[in-house]
Structure formats: structure tokens, C-alpha cells
Amino acid sequence: MRVCVYAASSDHANPEYTAQAYRLGMLLAHAGCELVYGGGSRGSMGAVANGALAAGGQVIGILPRFMADLEWGHPGLTRLELVEDMRERKHRLLTGSDAVVALPGGCGTLEELFEAITLKRLGLYLNPIILMNTRDYWPPLLRFMQEQVIDEHFMNPEHRDIWSLAQTPEDVLPTIAAVPRWSENARDFAAVRGN
């Protein structure tokens, strides 16, 4: 199984974020999963890669060339693939992945997550999208998605099932296994319905 992990590069966040990212990387490797991620060496991004590598896992990084020029790439990966820009990076991260796991992060992580959510809503990505809830990070966003986006009829109630929450790294793989495959007919209810 190939798992795409979206993660932050900040070294200044609470250390629990990097500790839990490292633990997730180890668990993915122990389960025989290939990790594909953004290719960086710092923050939760570097930690998830380091955890997987320490456990003997296969780690593929997808890094834009300008970030490689700034020496932001992780030097010890199984494979580091350089791409032209951020758009290509997002496409390559998602293509071929069997699941997405979003760790807490900033605008880059959120952009990647929302692109995956949008593609799943449109039936273009059918696999699980898991939010790992370190330090109770995701509930404010999930309340916004429910109370503003869904309740205000910008998305349908069925779209709540696009994502799933995992409280700990140990919960991630069981949550992936428990999520049913998204309907290939998702486009039939992608458009917002009236009351």
C-alpha cells in the first residue's frame, strides 16, 4: 500500500507534532507501506520520513526544483523525485496513492488536503483521506466544514464521509482499513442539492 502523507515543514511547532509524525512513519514502515510525501527534511515532514526510514521503510519524496536549490530536500530517502512546480508535486503525491493522511500543518498542508477533498467529491480520487488529530488540531476545521460549509448548503451531507479522523498514529492504518471505497458515482451528488 502506498500512503501519501501531507505534513508541515515548520521546526517551531510543538514537539508533539514531530514525535507523532515520526511514530506514524515507523508504523507505516512496519506495516509494509510505502510512504510518499513532500520530500522535505524539516518539521513533521522530515519526522515522518525519518520514522519510516528508521524502521526500514521505502520513502519517496516529491520536491519542486526551487526547494532542492534551497537545499530543503531530505538527503536520505529511498528516492527523491524533482518536479517543476507545486502543482506537479501535488499531482504526483496523490497519483497512485492508496490513502492520504493529513498531519496538522499550515497553508501548504491545508491546500493539499482541500485539493484531495475536492477531487474525492468529484469522484476523481476514491481512496481514504485521514486527518491525524495530534493535539486535537482538526475539530475546529471539522466544525467549520459542518456548520458553515455543509449546513449552509455549499456541500451535501454525504460529503461528511469524504474524510475520517484518527486520534493517534496507531489509529491511522485501522481507520484506513475501515473506510469504505468512495463511490465512483460521486459526481452524481457532487452538485449541491436543494432542501
For 18, the domain range is 2-179
Residue 191 lies in a domain: no
Residue 88 lies in a domain: yes
The one-letter amino acid at 190: A
What is the C-alpha to C-alpha distance for residues 126 and 25, in angstroms, rounded to an integer?
23
DSSP label of 150: I
Residue 55 lies in a domain: yes
Q: What is the average per-residue pLDDT within 110-127?
A: 95
195 pLDDT above the threshold of 60: no
What is the pLDDT of the chain when averaged over all its residues? 94
- Per-residue pLDDT of 99-116, as tens digits, reads 999 999 999 999 999 999
Residue 38 lies in a domain: yes
What is the pTM assigned to this prediction? 0.94
% pLDDT > 90, the chain: 89
What is the C-alpha to C-alpha distance for residues 171 and 173, in angstroms, rounded to an integer?
6
C-alpha distances (whole Å) from 126 to each of 32, 113, 179 are 22, 14, 11
129 sits in which H/E element: strand 129-132
Residue 72 lies in a domain: yes
Residue 193 lies in a domain: no
Residue 111 lies in a domain: yes
Residue 80 dihedral angles phi and psi, to the nearest 5°: -115, 120
Residue 117 lies in a domain: yes
Residue 112 dihedral angles phi and psi, to the nearest 5°: -60, -45
pLDDT band at 7 (very low <50, low <70, confident <90, very high): very high
Whole-number pLDDT of residue 69: 84
51 pLDDT above the threshold of 70: yes
182 pLDDT above the threshold of 90: no
Ramachandran bin of 36, using left for φ above 0, alpha for ψ from -120 to 50, beta for the remaining angles: beta
Structural domain total, the chain: 1
Whole-number pLDDT of residue 189: 66
Q: What is the average per-residue pLDDT within 79-83?
A: 95
- Per-residue pLDDT of 132-180, as tens digits, reads 999 999 999 999 999 999 999 999 999 999 999 999 999 999 999 999 9
CATH at residue 66? 3.40.50.450
What is the C-alpha to C-alpha distance for residues 129 and 179, in angstroms, rounded to an integer?
9
Whole-number pLDDT of residue 194: 66
Whole-number pLDDT of residue 105: 98
